[in-house]
């Protein structure tokens, strides 16, 4: 994971924060995912410019009683799962995110 420290939300999704959770739907196959509170924190911080390690350190560890090592390991598992479903992009360099959802029909 250390070679791909940057994470970004895919633009091929629809997402909405509801309370402490986030619902994410894959736009390619309509699969629905629900992210819990911690996953939501990482999801919202995944701007493609901030390394995952920094997100964990500054967002997760400041709000939850967890060591940076354990939190990072959990976060790496999460982002790999999300990337596996096409919901998140992993990169070894900063990722430029499209500003809006691509328009494909009128």
We find the least distance from the C-beta atom of residue 85 to other proteins, in angstroms, to be: 14
3-state DSSP of 58-92: HHHCCCCCCCHHHHHHHHHHHHHHHHHCCCEEEEC
- Shorter beta-carbon distance to other proteins: residue 15 or 95: 15
Give min distance, CB of 50 to other proteins, in A: 25
CA angle (95, 84, 58) in 5-degree steps: 50
Q: Which residue's CB is nearer to other proteins, number 2 or number 28?
A: 28
Q: How far is the CB of 38 from other proteins (least distance, A)?
A: 16
Whether the Cβ atoms of residue 10 and residue 88 lie closer than 8 Å to each other: yes
Our CB check for other proteins shows the closer of 65 and 102 to be 102
Question: Which residues of this protein are in contact with other proteins, per CB under 8 A?
Answer: 12, 14, 16, 18-19, 21, 23, 25-30, 32, 34, 101-106
Three-state DSSP at 34 gives strand
Which tokens in the block code for residue 4? Answer: 């791909």
């Amino acid at each position: 994971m250390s070679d791909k420290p940057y994470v970004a939300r895919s633009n091929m999704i629809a997402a909405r924060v509801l309370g402490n959770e986030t619902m994410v739907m894959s736009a390619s196959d309509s699969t629905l995912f629900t992210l819990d509170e911690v996953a939501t924190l990482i999801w919202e911080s995944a701007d493609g410019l901030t390394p995952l390690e920094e997100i964990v350190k500054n967002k997760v560890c400041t709000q939850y009683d967890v060591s940076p090592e354990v939190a990072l390991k959990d976060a790496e598992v999460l982002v790999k799962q999300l990337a596996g479903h096409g919901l998140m992009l992993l990169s070894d360099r900063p990722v430029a995110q499209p500003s809006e959802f691509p328009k494909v029909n009128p």
